Amino acid sequence: MIDMKTIGLASDHAGFQLKQYVIQYLNDKGLQYKDYGTYSEESCDYSDFGHALARGIENGEVYPGIAICGSGEGISMTLNKHQQIRAGLCWIPEIAHLIRQHNDANVLVMPGRFIDNEMAKKIMDEFFATDFEGGRHQRRIDKIPL
């Protein structure tokens, strides 16, 4: 199981509704979170909130993170510009399992326009329940930063 403290959240307007569900999920599980925005469905830029979440992880304020935008791609690209971030886009639980097990992902990214709440729940359950395997995977992760 992933070692969690306060979970960082970020979304743009297209991910806002799913983020509201994520907040309910975390509250139901008694998990602490910090929401880096956005706080409405008003059009905004995913990069503003992705960078804020990444900085929160980098400075030890939160771990892990959950990020959502319409496709999941834009906010994932933003997060992965940060050297300490390994954000993985998931649309099924099996991918959530693999990004934790093989990539030690520290941010779960979901596509707000393409999955429903039930799928998001399954993805989060898998992400939080899966440990990093280490071994040969650590060697590969060590080669990611530039």
CA distance 145 to 11: 25
pLDDT of residue 64: 98
pLDDT digits (tens, 9 = 90+) for 86-97: 999 999 999 999
Q: Enumerate residues 6+ apart whose C-beta is below 8 A from 137.
A: 101, 102, 103, 104
CA distance 87 to 93: 15
Flag whether pLDDT at 2 surpasses 90. no
Active site residues: 69, 102
pLDDT digits (tens, 9 = 90+) for 56-95: 999 999 999 999 999 999 999 999 999 999 999 999 999 9
CA distance 123 to 140: 24
Q: Which residue type occupies 81?
A: K
| Per-residue confidence band for 5, with pLDDT thresholds at 50, 70 and 90 | confident
Phi and psi for 46 in degrees, rounded to 5?
-55, -35
pLDDT of residue 1: 64
Flag whether pLDDT at 129 surpasses 70. yes
Share of the chain above pLDDT 70, in %: 97
